[in-house]
Amino acid sequence: MINPIEILGLVAAILTTAAFLPQVYKTWKTKSTDSLSLTMLLIFVSGVLCWLVYGFLIDSFPIILANFITAISGFLLLYFKYRYKN
């Protein structure tokens, strides 16, 4: 049995990871990145990479999973920001 606390962590992980998918999709479809802050994206991706290492060190699967996928979304948004800049 999975620990109920880990289930909550997984729900959290799924939500905050899934959250960026509609943003990635919207940015890809509209090619609009005006309202997205580049500073936000750069700091965010750095932070997500730190969380990923932290997740490995405290051996928390939800933290590892969430931040691995969020890192990919973050890098995609950074790429779109660079690609579709005005």
- Which residues of this chain interact with its own copies, rule CB under 8 A? 5, 8-9, 11-23, 25-27, 30, 32-37, 39-41, 43-44, 46-48, 50-51, 53-54, 57-58, 60, 62
Instruction: Supply 65's token pair.
Output: 């999973």
Distance CA 45, CA 42 (A): 5
Given a contact cutoff of 8 angstroms between Cβ atoms, the answer to whether 76 and 24 are in contact is yes
The CB-of-63 to its own copies minimum distance in angstroms stands at 8
The CB-of-23 to its own copies minimum distance in angstroms stands at 4
Q: 15 or 82: whose CB is closer to its own copies?
A: 15
Instruction: Supply 67's token pair.
Output: 């931040």
Residue 20 burial (10 A CB sphere; 0-12, 13-18, 19+): buried
Q: 2 or 57: whose CB is closer to its own copies?
A: 57
The CB-of-68 to its own copies minimum distance in angstroms stands at 14
